[in-house]
Chains A and B, each alone.
Chain A
Amino acid sequence: MSHIKCSTFKRSTKNNFMTKLTRLKLSKKLWRDMKRKAVFFSVLTVQAEGSDDSCVTFVLHDEDHTLGNSLRYMIMKNPEVEFCGYSNTHPSETKINFRIQTRGELPAVEPFRKGLNDLSGVCQHVLNTFETSMKTYKEQKEEAMD
């Protein structure tokens, strides 16, 4: 049974063009240059304004309101965030522009990372609570049948 793998999400075909090995072989500078030219080989592109890291627009590929709105809610709950919003670029394109502006000097990647971690934590707790409730319900039903 070991050859059966489970994947619960569609792997982006864009990842196939640049494997991790190829990335390591490229020099650091070339890597940064390619990123700036915004060649889409990753699921996440970053467009920062100038040298200030506190205002950043993330372009999330293959995403829509499902992740966009829930992530926006988690990031807005962070008191360090001054502005957080997202929009789809065009209905025919499956990507969203996700903008974060922080108060003070905090780099915008930090609330983004924290938001993702918090959302992951919420999902984990919801899953545990749901499965516990389901188990109790099924046990109660079994007892009622006996």
Chain B
Amino acid sequence: MAAPKSNVEEIRNRVILGEYGVRNVHTTDFPGNYRGYDDTWDQKKFEENFRVDIIEMDESTGTLEFDMVGIDAAIANAFRRILLAEVPTMAVEKVFIYNNTSIVQDEILAHRLGLIPVKADPRLFEYRSAGDEEGTEIDTIQFQLNIKCSRNPRATKDSTDPSELYLNHMVYTKHMKWIPIGNQADLFSEADICPVHDDILIAKLRPGQELDIVMHCVKGIGQDHAKFSPVATASYRLLPEISLMQAVEGDLAEKLKHCFSKGVIEIENVNGRKFAKVVNSRLDTCSREVLRYEELKNKVKLARVRDHFIFSVESTGILPPDVLVSEAIKVLMAKCRRFLDELDSSQVD
């Protein structure tokens, strides 16, 4: 049974949020599914409909919000997955502990050091070849952490504040020193290779305790260990669409306004009567609260636009978020290229 025309457009383009579940989730616009529609892949049609809108980028916090319109969920999700797990970064992998008399156990300390984001452009380094224990200048960055806590001779007699009583009792990332290997000193400066944040607390010491540690950083991807993930998080949501089927006025309009997030619904005065109007459905978090009220649930239609993705990327500071998105797209291209090359080389034989 063919669906009525208006319904077809809705099935193709919208994800419906119902009272007890979400409907129309899967992409159905494949060739042959709908009579009268040519859904064959057309690069030109895709390029006409596709657009990217940058909403906001904040360099200091490393956040980027942008919209990708006209693409399918499979590909948008691929970008999100790659941002989380397959864009490479540098992180501490091998920790050589020469002396650790602190209260923090060796392995806990090593684990904490691994999670520290290291500011070094991973595109300038190579992966370490398998079986190589030493590491060369092209694939390794070396840091040293050498700190000893001692009693402060100038402290007043009755003070109980540790910052007054002891010297070097808090070990921060600013105490990590970069040791250049080979010709790294010519290629990079102190500002290029350092931990992203200076004030990450690594361990606490008391007089007589010391740390003497050498760390090797290597290039890796998030799939191997989460410390290599370059994003604090990367996520997307679909653009919500709220449509009022009937006019909602008076007290009901006020109630409707409180069912949605702030700024979504506004009350406007028409001829002395108050009517509800949808102002900005983008701000809504789609809690479906309105569907809980009998008197309101038939007046509103909640849906999401299937091909409009609102991405939010937050970087850990190693690379700026826009560079991360570009790198993620390049990783997907490289994956395709890898299989195309494999196909071509096997055809040759």
Measured CB to CB, the closest approach of chain B to A145, in angstroms, equals 12
A37 contacts B by Cβ under 8 Å = no
Q: Which residues of B contact A119 (CB under 8 A)?
A: 75, 332, 336
A129–B67 Cα distance when bound, in Å, is 12
User: Please, what's the 1-or-0 string for A125-143, where 1 marks a CB less than 8 Å from any CB in chain B?
Assistant: 1110111011011000000
- At the interface, is chain B mostly helix, strand, loop or mixed? helix
Q: Are B52 and A126 in contact (CB under 8 A)?
A: yes
**Nearest CB to that of A112 among chain B residues?**
B343
Given contacts A78-B40, A133-B53, contact A127 B329 (CB under 8 A): yes
Residues of chain A within 8 A (CB-CB) of B221 are: 10
Q: Does B132 lie at the interface of the complex (its beta carbon under 8 Å from any beta carbon of A)? A: no
Query: Which of B289-335 touch A at CB < 8 Å?
Result: 322, 325-327, 329-335
Nearest CB in chain A: distance from B84 CB, A: 10
A4 & B331 in contact (Cβ 8 Å cutoff): no
Interface residues of B in 42-75 (CB under 8 A from A): 43, 46-47, 50-54, 57, 66, 68, 71-72, 74-75
* A77–B332 touching, CB < 8 Å: no
Q: Is the CB of A126 within 8 A of B343?
A: no
Tell me if B124 counts as interface (CB < 8 A to partner A).
yes
Q: Is the interface of A mostly helix, strand, loop or mixed?
A: helix
Q: Nearest Cβ distance between residue B220 and chain A, in whole angstroms?
A: 9
- Measured between beta carbons, the chain A residues less than 8 angstroms from B40 are 77-79
- Which of A4, A7, A70, A116: most chain B CB closer than 10 A? A70
Question: Across the interface, do A134 and B335 meet the contact criterion of CB distance under 8 Å?
Answer: no
Are B349's CB and A125's CB within 8 A? Answer: no
B52 to A133, Cβ gap below 8 A? yes
Question: Is B123 a contact of A6 with CB atoms below 8 Å?
Answer: yes
User: Contact string, A1-33, partner B, CB cutoff 8 A, digits 1/0?
Assistant: 101111111110100000010010000100110
Chain A residues with CB below 8 A from B340, complex form: 113, 116-117, 120
A60 to B68, CA, bound (A): 29
How extensive is the interface on chain A, given as a class? 35 or more
C-alpha gap A108/B75 in the complex (Å): 22
- Counting contact residues on chain B (CB < 8 A from A), the size range is 35 or more
User: Given A7-B127, A120-B333, do A130 and B325 touch, yes or no (CB 8 Å)?
Assistant: yes
Which stretch from B24-32, B200-208, B279-287 is at the chain A interface? B24-32
Q: Is the CB of A67 within 8 A of B78?
A: yes
- Cβ-defined contact, B68 with A126, below 8 A: yes
How far does the Cβ of A40 sit from chain B's closest Cβ, in whole Å? 13
Pairwise interchain contact B126-A126, C-beta atoms closer than 8 A = no
Q: Please, how many angstroms separate the alpha-carbon atoms of A95 and B46 in the complex? A: 30
Question: Which has the most chain A C-beta neighbours within 10 Å: B74, B138, B221, B325?
Answer: B74
B130 within 8 A of A: yes
Binary per-residue interface labels of chain A (97-126) against chain B in the complex, 1 for a CB within 8 Å, 0 otherwise: 000000000000100110011111111111
- B334 x A126 contact (CB < 8 A): no
A65 at the interface (CB under 8 A from B): yes
Complex alpha-carbon distance, A73 and B71, angstroms: 11
- Assuming the contacts A60-B339, A130-B329, A134-B322, asked whether A78 and B52 have C-beta atoms less than 8 A apart, the reply is no
Q: Give chain A interface residues in 69-86, CB to chain B under 8 Å.
A: 69-74, 76-79
9 contacts between A and B (CB under 8 A): A7-B126, A44-B339, A70-B332, A79-B31, A116-B340, A118-B41, A119-B75, A121-B43, A136-B54
* Interfacial residues, chain A to chain B (CB-CB below 8 A): 1, 3-11, 13, 20, 23, 28, 31-32, 42-44, 60, 63, 65-67, 69-74, 76-79, 109, 112-113, 116-127, 129-131, 133-134, 136-137
Q: Which 8 A-B pairs have the closest CB atoms?
A: A77-B41, A73-B74, A79-B31, A137-B54, A70-B78, A120-B336, A123-B333, A69-B74
A73-B75, A129-B52 known; 6 other A-B pairs, CB under 8 Å? A8-B327, A70-B75, A78-B41, A112-B343, A122-B46, A126-B50
